[in-house]
Structure 1
Amino acid sequence: MKHRYLLLAALVVGMGADMSALADPPPWAPAHGRRAKEMHSEVVEVRPVVRQYNYIYYPAYQVYYAPDSQMWFWMNGGNWQFGMNLPLEYSRYSYAGGGVTVMLNSDRPYVEHTYVEQTYGRPWRAEHGHGEKHGKHGHRD
């Protein structure tokens, strides 16, 4: 009987003891189970960072200049070239005026050249017979 009283007393004392062992872990502890699911259930919208690149486009010559990197981009035999200086055949043109400021999402302006032509025009095509009455030079548009 004495054992029963001792057991009952231990049980009563144990029930009244601090229940902090069953509490949630501190906020700095890694989350597991239910707590991890609750923490990660929020929907966080991640927006991609879109960088804008500034160019000066010379539509009459199909040439781009990037003031930030001081690079030129030009067409050469159907391929785009780039460098710190324009080739000699482009040096006879005046780039002091006539350029259009263009903001693009690429560090390579020729990737968006079709958009630039559609937006800012293609005067070089009219000068060289590329248009409705094409055929002046015997080649296709």
Structure 2
Amino acid sequence: METNKMKISAFWSIIVLTLLFLIPQDVFSQGPPPWAPAHGYRAKTKHIYFPDQNFYYDVERKSYLHLSNGKWTISTKLPSIYSKINLGKSTQIQLEIGGHTPYIYNKEHIVKYKKPKKHKGHKHKH
């Protein structure tokens, strides 16, 4: 009985090792997204917040957190609604929030990182 368990364990070990050598390594390490800065992010950065689009990127899980039909959704690929935006040129805020739900602070982030509106027209004297 013990010999059969050892044979089965050895068999699966060989299968796993074989698959590790056959599967291209870039499948496991996708690297940074194309919009990420060349210099990378600080070690403490857990999430990137895109205030202009109001979504997050989870650096550790390499996933996007975005609103879809009023609910926060997670996706490993950039949501299609943002595909035509050059995120490399978009405002990026590095957040050090632990966990994987930075959106629980979304109302505060919207206010804190809101771009000041440019005044058009006449200048007012005070």
TM-score by length of 1: 0.45
RCO comparison, higher one (Cα < 8 Å, 6+): 2
